[in-house]
Chain A
Amino acid sequence: MSEWNHYVTMKGTNNGIVVYLDDQCSFDFLLKELENKLVNNQTSGATDITIHSQHRYLSEDQRQTLIQLIGQHSELTVKNIESYVLTRESAYELYEHTTVKTVMKTIRSGQVHEVKGDALVIGDVNPGGAVHASGNIFVLGKLRGIAHAGVEGDENCIVAASYMHPNQIRIASKISRAPDYDVQGSPREFAFINPSTEQIELDQLQHIQKIRPKLLDVFERGL
């Protein structure tokens, strides 16, 4: 291959090196040129790079091929593969994960209310009852049972309740439980994982903007 194509462009940005892949040519051209560049340019040092496939949709196989190719010819590691396009499934997944699912009932002992996305409960969660959500949990009533936010591992999720008196609060893989002595519940509180202590903490609801300013930001959540 003698002619010089511009199918692969590398740019330095604030977030490190981004490799832009042309989205019009065939995937084989991309691979060839990428290989050429890697071999000839002799990129030195081990850095993290981001691959941006622009308007091309990369299948899982193609992603693996890219990662392998880069691994063979350089010490670069692919941190992230970005794209402007999504499959319908992952768009739907994202939609499910970021929308609020409202239920109007009392979650009673023995009942488990499972939700993909944020759970809004209009009613109480009684002792022995549980709410599981992949996103946040908001209870417009008394939370006296178990609330598990971020069941799929999102540690940024919170649990908020008009009246907080839970058996347990779980966020991602962290668990906190009520103390062994009798406690009164408290009105308008929310629970979150404090990144510095890695523990679940409670705070007054009016402090939520300060502690989780990006709570409702769709792009912060699993894109």
Chain B
Amino acid sequence: MGESIVITSGKGGVGKTTTTANIGTALALMGQKVCLIDTDIGLRNLDVVLGLENRIIFNLIDVIEGRCKLQSALVKDKRFECLHLLPAAQTSDKNEISPESITQLVDELKPDYDFILIDCPAGIEQGYKNAVAGADKAIVISTPEKSSIRDADRIIGLLEQEELENPPYLIINRIRKHMVDSGDMLSVDEIVSTLSIELLGIILDDEDVIRSSHHGVPVAFQPDTKASISYRNIARRILGEQVPLMSFDEEKGFMTKVKKLLGMK
């Protein structure tokens, strides 16, 4: 029996969809059976980030309204057998489905998968309610911006009223080390202290993330970028491993090490 996790943020554009795609990919890389559900009806993106846009035949609405079977709407990933996507409809809107129908859908998927990741739309209206209904756990994404933290705080408050197994987990996205150092961006500690929920991971602002979503290949595939390591660490933490937070510091070059040895720096 799998567990369902909703990925939400309140604010738009903080990286819900990218995070869903990458955590899904990272979990699949570790051999888990994963199903991603895009509940952002009318503004679907998850298929694009995964590079599966061309393979969509049926969608979430088709399944809920009984126009097709659940199995035939699932899109298999190009790279993995064990990663599936249930795409959102592009032509309907969020009010056409009810939280109950999503719950039913997720319950139907649970026996076949280890993880079901639900990509939530921005906002706290119907779309959010639909997405959260089917979830056992929740991950809240925030960037180190004040507005994003405010919205994350609001969402956490709303999630606390839901019947979730645990309090929501936090992922802080797009951290810029030099800005944190210069005091122009909130630090991880400040954000965690404000939101007071468990930190699941941090992701540095990385051009590779944008580059890979442009090519429709989640960054988690790459073996060595900071972002991909962050996503994999998050996946390992979801599976229950204890993984320390990645340090921000740049790798020191050979010459700096020598200089440090000589006491010049």
B76 at the interface (CB under 8 A from A): no
B119 at the interface (CB under 8 A from A): no
Give bound CA distance, A126 to B142, whole Å: 15
Per-residue interface assignment for chain B, residues 141 to 155, with 1 indicating a CB less than 8 Å from any chain A CB and 0 otherwise: 000000000110110
Contacting residues, chain A, for B158 (C-beta < 8 A):
110
Per-residue interface assignment for chain A, residues 48 to 74, with 1 indicating a CB less than 8 Å from any chain B CB and 0 otherwise: 000000000000000000000000000
What's the interface size class on B, roughly? 10 to 19
Give residues in B with beta carbon < 8 Å to A.
150-151, 153-154, 156-158, 160, 194-196
Which residue of chain B has the shortest Cβ distance to A182 in the bound complex?
B183
Q: How far is the CB of B64 from chain A (nearest CB, A)?
A: 30
**Contact assessment for B157 and A110 in the assembled complex, using a CB-CB cutoff below 8 Å:** yes
* Contact A109:B196 (CB < 8 A) given known A127-B150, A128-B150: no
* A/B pair count, beta carbons within 8 Å: 32
A106 at the interface (CB under 8 A from B): yes
Which residue of chain B has the shortest Cβ distance to A111 in the bound complex?
B157
Give residues in A with beta carbon < 8 Å to B.
105-106, 108-111, 123-124, 126-129, 144
**Contact assessment for B196 and A110 in the assembled complex, using a CB-CB cutoff below 8 Å:** no
Contacting residues, chain B, for A123 (C-beta < 8 A):
196
Give bound CA distance, A56 to B116, whole Å: 70
Q: How far is the CB of B127 from chain A (nearest CB, A)?
A: 17
Give bound CA distance, A108 to B194, whole Å: 9
Contacting residues, chain A, for B151 (C-beta < 8 A):
109
Give bound CA distance, A124 to B192, whole Å: 13
Give bound CA distance, A126 to B150, whole Å: 9
A128 touches which of B154, B160, B195 (Cβ 8 Å): B154
